[in-house]
Structure 1
Amino acid sequence: MAELHVDNAVLETLRDVMEDEYSLLLETFLADSEERLRLLLDTAQGADAQAMRLAAHSFKGSCSNMGAVLLASLCKELEELARRERLDEVVPVLEQVQREFAIVRILFKAELQRYR
Protein backbone atom coordinates (compact mmCIF):
# COMPACT_ATOMS: atom_id res chain seq x y z
CA MET A 1 0.00 0.00 0.00
CA ALA A 2 1.35 3.41 -0.92
CA GLU A 3 2.05 5.78 1.91
CA LEU A 4 -0.43 8.62 2.26
CA HIS A 5 1.33 11.96 1.85
CA VAL A 6 -1.78 14.15 2.02
CA ASP A 7 -5.28 13.20 3.13
CA ASN A 8 -7.52 14.71 0.48
CA ALA A 9 -10.56 14.47 2.76
CA VAL A 10 -8.84 16.84 5.19
CA LEU A 11 -8.06 19.25 2.35
CA GLU A 12 -11.65 19.06 1.15
CA THR A 13 -12.91 19.94 4.62
CA LEU A 14 -10.43 22.81 4.86
CA ARG A 15 -11.55 24.10 1.43
CA ASP A 16 -15.18 24.04 2.62
CA VAL A 17 -14.43 25.75 5.92
CA MET A 18 -11.87 28.30 4.70
CA GLU A 19 -13.59 29.15 1.39
CA ASP A 20 -11.81 32.20 -0.08
CA GLU A 21 -9.06 31.99 2.55
CA TYR A 22 -8.03 28.45 1.55
CA SER A 23 -5.12 29.61 -0.62
CA LEU A 24 -3.86 31.80 2.20
CA LEU A 25 -4.04 28.82 4.56
CA LEU A 26 -1.91 26.73 2.20
CA GLU A 27 0.62 29.53 1.73
CA THR A 28 0.82 30.09 5.49
CA PHE A 29 1.31 26.39 6.15
CA LEU A 30 4.14 26.19 3.62
CA ALA A 31 5.94 29.26 4.98
CA ASP A 32 5.42 28.18 8.58
CA SER A 33 6.63 24.67 7.81
CA GLU A 34 9.87 26.00 6.33
CA GLU A 35 10.53 27.73 9.66
CA ARG A 36 9.53 24.69 11.70
CA LEU A 37 11.84 22.47 9.67
CA ARG A 38 14.69 24.94 10.11
CA LEU A 39 14.04 24.95 13.87
CA LEU A 40 14.14 21.14 13.96
CA LEU A 41 17.47 21.11 12.16
CA ASP A 42 18.85 23.78 14.50
CA THR A 43 17.75 21.88 17.61
CA ALA A 44 19.39 18.72 16.28
CA GLN A 45 22.67 20.57 15.76
CA GLY A 46 22.42 22.07 19.23
CA ALA A 47 21.60 18.68 20.74
CA ASP A 48 18.70 20.23 22.68
CA ALA A 49 16.25 17.39 23.34
CA GLN A 50 13.61 19.57 24.99
CA ALA A 51 13.64 22.14 22.18
CA MET A 52 13.47 19.36 19.59
CA ARG A 53 10.56 17.70 21.37
CA LEU A 54 8.62 20.97 21.44
CA ALA A 55 9.46 21.82 17.81
CA ALA A 56 8.52 18.33 16.62
CA HIS A 57 5.27 18.42 18.61
CA SER A 58 4.31 21.77 17.13
CA PHE A 59 5.17 20.71 13.58
CA LYS A 60 3.28 17.44 14.08
CA GLY A 61 0.14 19.36 15.04
CA SER A 62 0.19 21.68 12.06
CA CYS A 63 0.91 18.78 9.67
CA SER A 64 -1.94 16.79 11.16
CA ASN A 65 -4.33 19.74 10.85
CA MET A 66 -3.40 20.12 7.18
CA GLY A 67 -3.70 16.43 6.34
CA ALA A 68 0.04 15.84 5.84
CA VAL A 69 -0.29 12.37 7.32
CA LEU A 70 3.16 10.87 6.80
CA LEU A 71 4.91 14.11 7.74
CA ALA A 72 2.89 14.25 10.98
CA SER A 73 3.86 10.64 11.71
CA LEU A 74 7.56 11.38 11.18
CA CYS A 75 7.30 14.41 13.48
CA LYS A 76 5.69 12.19 16.10
CA GLU A 77 8.64 9.82 15.79
CA LEU A 78 11.07 12.73 16.25
CA GLU A 79 9.08 13.97 19.22
CA GLU A 80 9.28 10.56 20.86
CA LEU A 81 13.03 10.24 20.23
CA ALA A 82 13.59 13.67 21.76
CA ARG A 83 11.34 12.85 24.72
CA ARG A 84 13.51 9.81 25.39
CA GLU A 85 16.64 11.95 24.81
CA ARG A 86 17.80 9.65 22.02
CA LEU A 87 19.19 12.43 19.86
CA ASP A 88 21.79 10.09 18.40
CA GLU A 89 18.90 8.49 16.46
CA VAL A 90 17.26 11.63 15.04
CA VAL A 91 19.41 12.24 11.95
CA PRO A 92 17.82 9.56 9.72
CA VAL A 93 14.34 10.63 10.84
CA LEU A 94 15.16 14.28 10.16
CA GLU A 95 16.30 13.29 6.67
CA GLN A 96 12.97 11.53 6.14
CA VAL A 97 11.16 14.65 7.39
CA GLN A 98 13.05 16.78 4.87
CA ARG A 99 12.26 14.39 2.00
CA GLU A 100 8.61 14.14 2.99
CA PHE A 101 8.24 17.89 3.35
CA ALA A 102 9.68 18.29 -0.16
CA ILE A 103 6.89 16.01 -1.44
CA VAL A 104 4.21 17.77 0.62
CA ARG A 105 5.47 21.17 -0.62
CA ILE A 106 5.04 20.02 -4.24
CA LEU A 107 1.56 18.65 -3.56
CA PHE A 108 0.43 21.78 -1.71
CA LYS A 109 1.84 24.09 -4.38
CA ALA A 110 -0.12 22.12 -6.97
CA GLU A 111 -3.18 22.49 -4.75
CA LEU A 112 -2.53 26.24 -4.59
CA GLN A 113 -2.46 26.43 -8.38
CA ARG A 114 -5.91 24.85 -8.54
CA TYR A 115 -7.50 27.24 -6.04
CA ARG A 116 -5.99 30.64 -6.75
Structure 2
Amino acid sequence: MPDVHLDDSVLAALQDVMEEEYPVLLDTYLLDSEERLRLLRESQRLGDMQALRLTAHSFKGSCSNMGAPLLASLCKELEEVARLEQAQDAPIWIERIEREFAIVRILFKSERQRYP
Protein backbone atom coordinates (compact mmCIF):
# COMPACT_ATOMS: atom_id res chain seq x y z
CA MET A 1 0.00 0.00 0.00
CA PRO A 2 2.86 2.54 0.53
CA ASP A 3 3.09 3.12 -3.24
CA VAL A 4 -0.55 4.24 -3.39
CA HIS A 5 -1.09 7.98 -3.78
CA LEU A 6 -4.69 7.87 -2.50
CA ASP A 7 -6.55 5.05 -0.81
CA ASP A 8 -10.05 5.01 -2.30
CA SER A 9 -11.46 3.02 0.62
CA VAL A 10 -10.39 5.75 3.06
CA LEU A 11 -11.92 8.42 0.83
CA ALA A 12 -15.17 6.44 0.62
CA ALA A 13 -15.29 6.11 4.41
CA LEU A 14 -14.62 9.84 4.85
CA GLN A 15 -17.34 10.63 2.35
CA ASP A 16 -19.80 8.42 4.25
CA VAL A 17 -18.95 10.00 7.59
CA MET A 18 -18.69 13.62 6.46
CA GLU A 19 -21.61 13.55 4.00
CA GLU A 20 -22.24 17.11 2.71
CA GLU A 21 -19.16 18.38 4.61
CA TYR A 22 -16.84 16.11 2.60
CA PRO A 23 -15.89 18.85 0.08
CA VAL A 24 -15.06 21.17 3.00
CA LEU A 25 -12.81 18.46 4.43
CA LEU A 26 -10.97 18.19 1.10
CA ASP A 27 -10.52 21.96 0.91
CA THR A 28 -9.33 22.13 4.52
CA TYR A 29 -6.83 19.33 4.02
CA LEU A 30 -5.31 21.03 0.98
CA LEU A 31 -5.00 24.40 2.74
CA ASP A 32 -3.63 22.81 5.88
CA SER A 33 -1.11 20.78 3.89
CA GLU A 34 0.19 23.88 2.11
CA GLU A 35 0.83 25.45 5.51
CA ARG A 36 2.54 22.30 6.80
CA LEU A 37 4.83 22.29 3.76
CA ARG A 38 5.70 25.90 4.43
CA LEU A 39 6.47 25.04 8.06
CA LEU A 40 8.65 22.09 6.99
CA ARG A 41 10.69 24.33 4.70
CA GLU A 42 10.95 27.06 7.33
CA SER A 43 12.00 24.65 10.09
CA GLN A 44 14.63 23.13 7.82
CA ARG A 45 15.90 26.56 6.79
CA LEU A 46 16.23 27.57 10.45
CA GLY A 47 17.82 24.24 11.39
CA ASP A 48 15.06 23.66 13.97
CA MET A 49 14.96 19.86 14.06
CA GLN A 50 12.39 19.78 16.88
CA ALA A 51 9.92 21.91 14.89
CA LEU A 52 10.69 19.87 11.78
CA ARG A 53 9.99 16.62 13.64
CA LEU A 54 6.74 17.88 15.12
CA THR A 55 5.50 19.27 11.80
CA ALA A 56 6.42 16.06 9.95
CA HIS A 57 4.63 14.04 12.64
CA SER A 58 1.50 16.15 12.40
CA PHE A 59 1.53 16.10 8.59
CA LYS A 60 1.99 12.31 8.68
CA GLY A 61 -1.16 11.97 10.76
CA SER A 62 -3.30 14.15 8.54
CA CYS A 63 -2.05 12.37 5.40
CA SER A 64 -2.82 9.01 6.95
CA ASN A 65 -6.29 10.14 8.03
CA MET A 66 -7.00 11.48 4.53
CA GLY A 67 -5.89 8.31 2.75
CA ALA A 68 -2.54 9.47 1.34
CA PRO A 69 -0.33 6.54 2.46
CA LEU A 70 2.77 7.29 0.38
CA LEU A 71 2.80 10.89 1.55
CA ALA A 72 2.33 9.71 5.14
CA SER A 73 5.24 7.31 4.72
CA LEU A 74 7.51 10.08 3.43
CA CYS A 75 6.54 12.27 6.38
CA LYS A 76 7.39 9.40 8.71
CA GLU A 77 10.86 9.20 7.15
CA LEU A 78 11.37 12.95 7.59
CA GLU A 79 10.17 12.71 11.17
CA GLU A 80 12.86 10.10 11.84
CA VAL A 81 15.54 12.18 10.09
CA ALA A 82 14.61 15.12 12.32
CA ARG A 83 14.50 12.94 15.44
CA LEU A 84 18.04 11.77 14.69
CA GLU A 85 19.01 15.40 13.95
CA GLN A 86 20.30 14.50 10.50
CA ALA A 87 19.81 18.04 9.19
CA GLN A 88 21.81 17.33 6.04
CA ASP A 89 19.19 14.76 4.90
CA ALA A 90 16.14 16.92 5.58
CA PRO A 91 16.10 18.79 2.22
CA ILE A 92 16.02 15.50 0.31
CA TRP A 93 12.98 14.28 2.24
CA ILE A 94 11.21 17.62 2.04
CA GLU A 95 11.68 17.58 -1.74
CA ARG A 96 10.22 14.06 -1.92
CA ILE A 97 7.27 15.17 0.22
CA GLU A 98 6.70 18.21 -2.02
CA ARG A 99 6.77 16.05 -5.16
CA GLU A 100 4.33 13.54 -3.70
CA PHE A 101 2.07 16.29 -2.40
CA ALA A 102 1.96 17.79 -5.91
CA ILE A 103 0.46 14.49 -7.10
CA VAL A 104 -1.88 14.19 -4.12
CA ARG A 105 -3.02 17.80 -4.60
CA ILE A 106 -4.01 17.08 -8.20
CA LEU A 107 -5.88 13.94 -7.17
CA PHE A 108 -7.71 15.71 -4.34
CA LYS A 109 -8.62 18.64 -6.58
CA SER A 110 -9.99 16.16 -9.10
CA GLU A 111 -11.97 14.49 -6.30
CA ARG A 112 -13.18 17.91 -5.15
CA GLN A 113 -14.50 18.78 -8.61
CA ARG A 114 -17.08 16.03 -8.26
CA TYR A 115 -18.92 18.22 -5.72
CA PRO A 116 -20.54 21.62 -6.23
Matches within 5 A, 1:1-116: 3-116=3-116
* Runs of 4+, deviation exceeding 2 Å: none
> 1:115 aligns to what SS in structure 2?
coil
CA contact (8 A) 2:2 2:70 kept: no
Structure 1 gaps, min length 5: none
**% identical aligned pairs:** 63
Q: Secondary structure at the match of 1:4?
A: coil
TM-score, length of structure 2 as denominator length: 0.97
RMSD: 1.3
Q: Secondary structure at the match of 1:64?
A: helix
Say how many residue pairs are matched.
116
Deviations 1:17-43 (A, max 9, x none): 000000000000000000000000000
Please tell me the residue identity of whatever aligns with 1:45: R
The answer on whether the counterparts of 2:5 and 2:71 sit within 8 Å (CA) in structure 1 is: yes
Asked if the contact 2:54/2:79 (under 8 Å) is kept, the reply is yes
Give the structure-1-normalised TM-score.
0.97
- Any idea what the Cα deviations from partners look like across 1:21-74, whole Å, max 9, x if unmatched? 000000000000000000000000001110000000000000000001111000
CA deviations over 1:75-102 (Å, ceiling 9, x no partner): 0000000001011111111111000000
TM-fit CA distance, 1:2:
9.0
Q: 2: CA distance between counterparts of 1:19 and 1:101?
A: 25
